[in-house]
Chain A
């Protein structure tokens, strides 16, 4: 069988111009830290968060945890994913408040766990979409909640906001059932 080499198609972008591969002394990561978050629009983020976190001071706190603190790549990634979800939701009329859900705990030192009065972030993880995903299995739902709310705040809070926005996108109704560990997610 004669060999027919594939026709050569030049790359759409020359390799040295491909996004994410900008030339620089250290290759990837050559965009200066002072400019890498230039795409973050905190006012826009505030608008997407407003239905989920109505109090302005609470929202400023959540927003700081999402895009104002922690490693720069997490801050940027959080914004990008939330912005894309926010844009998708805008096309469907915007986010609506979610009600109830699982609390999102601060990761305080264990020796203080019993003495802290108010150690949860001012938004909750909505459960309706997760409940559907878990297919009625309570342990799976608990495991999902554990995965989504554990770890550093910039991860946990981004997870919670993304689930809230995704639940909005999926069109599931606001959550009204008790949270896992507080009486059963499936009644």
Chain B
């Protein structure tokens, strides 16, 4: 059972994002098996999936909905001409795409779990989200361009982000984008080793919001 759960969660996480998949699994589990089910889910999958572990912990502590507020990030994005997403979280990207002016182009760097079916990811957003790669995302650079990634936890000096963030924010790139924005989407401390994520210096971001 656990292997099947692992496979199912990995598939969901690769296409929805780890936090989005975690909320989906936790909600569905709670709907069927209440808090005991969420506790069991945490025991089964938490060690392998620290974001799921954190969402389970939050649920059991009374946090029953993700914080999807766009207010912290919209002011930094509305005046942009291009936004390059490094990482994908469907729960947050869906409302963001609806809220941004249509003149703001949004691209996604297709980096992550090698099993990800990117065609399916992009199809969920119609043509609003354009595909970019490590080889060409700088074609969206410019003084009105923003690099945005999702932050899964932060300390005073570090942020937990997807490894792709470190691949896209080298010294050559940092001065080709107006800002490097981290959107903090998980406010629950990561209690276990954050595998799948990396601890990056908070100074890799010019802005941390959320």
Residues on A lying within 8 angstroms of B by beta carbon are: 57-58, 60-61, 64-65, 68-70, 106-109, 111-112, 115-122, 152-154
Contact = CB atoms under 8 A, between A and B. Distances in A.
Contacts of B178: 57-58, 60-61
A108 B176 contact: yes
A120 B174 CA distance: 14
Interface stretch (B30-38, B138-146, B183-191): B138-146
B126 interface: no
B142 A106 contact: yes
A145 to B, nearest CB: 19
Contacts of B135: 111
B176 A64 contact: no
A68 B143 CA distance: 16
Nearest to B142: A118
Contacts of A65: 175
Contact of A116 (B79, B81, B138, B179): B138
A109 B138 contact: yes
Given A57-B79, A118-B81, A112 B174 contact: no
B124 interface: no
Given A61-B178, A64-B206, A119 B79 contact: no
24 contacts: A57-B79, A57-B179, A58-B178, A60-B179, A61-B143, A64-B206, A65-B175, A69-B174, A106-B141, A106-B142, A107-B172, A108-B141, A108-B176, A112-B138, A116-B139, A117-B142, A118-B142, A118-B145, A120-B142, A120-B143, A152-B175, A153-B175, A153-B176, A154-B175
B171 interface: yes
B206 A118 contact: no
A150 to B, nearest CB: 14
A182 B136 CA distance: 28
A119 B175 contact: no
- Interface residue SS majority, chain B: mixed
A75 B142 CA distance: 22
Contacts of A119: 141-142, 176
Contacts of A57: 79, 178-179
Interface string B141-179: 111110000000000000000000000000110111011
A69 B204 CA distance: 10
A116 B143 contact: no
A66 B172 CA distance: 14
Contacts of A107: 172
A65 B179 CA distance: 11
Contacts of B179: 57, 60-61
A118 B144 contact: yes
A112 B139 contact: yes
B143 A121 contact: yes
Contacts of A108: 138-139, 141, 176
Contacts of A154: 175
Contacts of B176: 106, 108, 119, 153
A57 B141 CA distance: 15
Nearest to B180: A64
- With most chain A CB atoms within 10 A of its CB, the pick from B172, B176, B206 is B176
Contacts of B171: 69-70
B79 to A, nearest CB: 6
Contacts of A152: 175
B143 A118 contact: yes
Given A65-B175, A116-B141, A118-B142, 16 more contacts: A57-B178, A64-B175, A68-B206, A106-B176, A107-B172, A108-B138, A108-B176, A109-B138, A112-B138, A116-B138, A117-B142, A119-B141, A121-B143, A122-B143, A153-B175, A153-B176
